[in-house]
Amino acid sequence: ALSVLVTAKKSSGGSSKEKDPNYLSQKAFEQLTLGNESQAMKLFAKVLKVQPNNANALVQLGMRQMGKPETEAIGFERLEQAFNEDCVPMPVPIQSQQGQWIASIIGRRRFELKDFHTAAKFFEKAASSPTAAICQKLQYATSLLTPFPLSTFDARQRIQKYNKAMDEILARLETGEEMGPNDGDPYAFCMLTAFYQTAYYDASHKETMGKHAAVVLKAFPEYHYTAPHLSHLDDEEDDLQMAVASAVGGCDRRLKVGFVSGMMYRGTPPLADFGGVLGRLSREDFELTFIYLKDIHSPPSDGIITRRGANDS
């Protein structure tokens, strides 16, 4: 049985017991303890008929309904309602681990439904508890930079909140604190994209993405990898020699730029937006590398850059 989130007062008895939400809740929890889940859910349903804002009944019914396709929507609706301030005996306590978990799964569902603002609100609830793990804080921070800020002011507020949250995360990681119970959670590490940040004109992408990379490398130091053919760049003597060679013109001084996309073919937004820029970059000043993320459904990537022929495609 699920743990009790809020404590109801015992009923004083009398002929109106079947209409007393406290008495019905008490009997429902007794049935859960005995393993009679079906009977318990019927009692919780009665509770909601008498008292629609009863947090215990909303949580117990919602938790079971959210896992079934036919009742998923009403299940999550009830879980969200259980956080309302008018719930009795009290709203779901976010200080509890169960409260944090429920807020987190509501946020994830809202994110999948592209209701990004409601998702961030529940992720913030899950991260607001003093006992919240770092991964919950990261989940909240990365959910802030959604593709659709409401206004310029909203975008600036989100950037400020993101940077503050990421700074707090980095400070906690510096002390040796672990990331959390599930370090491979995609909702913590895979929600932030540079693509979404194109809507945040006042933000420094170098700063926002740099902080995210710093957190990932702190959490997973094994990913701090230097390719063998680049290892010499860590050597101060080699750096000095390269600097001298560059100063006297003995080194290729072209800027090396890499472009990574899974849509490097005609008729796609990336090439419609940037194809002209890529075609006009001087190869005397830039050394370009194109990395095409091709899957089984992708067409051939011919004609990416046509100005200089097939060699540049």
Mean pLDDT of 201-206: 84
pLDDT at 124: 92
- Mean pLDDT estimate for the chain: 80
Helices 21-33 and 37-50, axial angle in degrees (round to 10): 170
Place of tokens 């979404």: 196
pLDDT at 148: 79
Whether 216 shows a pLDDT value over 70: the answer reads: yes
- The three-state secondary structure class of 179 is coil
Measure the CA angle with vertex 269, ends 267 and 274; round to 5°: 105
pLDDT at 233: 60
pLDDT at 51: 95
Choose between 58 and 182: higher pLDDT: 58
Give per-residue pLDDT as tens, 25-83: 999 999 999 999 999 999 999 999 999 999 999 999 999 999 899 999 999 999 999 99
pLDDT at 74: 96
Mean pLDDT of 211-235: 75
Give one word for 87, left, alpha or beta, with left for phi > 0 and alpha for psi -120 to 50: beta
Choose between 66 and 226: higher pLDDT: 66
| Confidence band of 313 (pLDDT split at 50, 70, 90) | very low
pLDDT at 262: 77
Whether 111 shows a pLDDT value over 80: the answer reads: yes
- pTM above threshold 0.85: no
Whether 238 shows a pLDDT value over 70: the answer reads: no
CA distances from 119 to 105, 112, 162 (A): 9, 9, 15
Classify residue 100 by burial, with Cβ atoms within 10 Å: 0-12, 13-18, 19+: buried
Residue 5 CA to residue 28 CA, distance in Å, equals 14
Give per-residue pLDDT as tens, 256-311: 888 888 777 777 777 777 788 888 888 888 888 888 776 666 555 454 444 444 34
Residue 158 CA to residue 153 CA, distance in Å, equals 9
Give per-residue pLDDT as tens, 145-177: 877 788 889 999 999 999 999 999 999 988 988
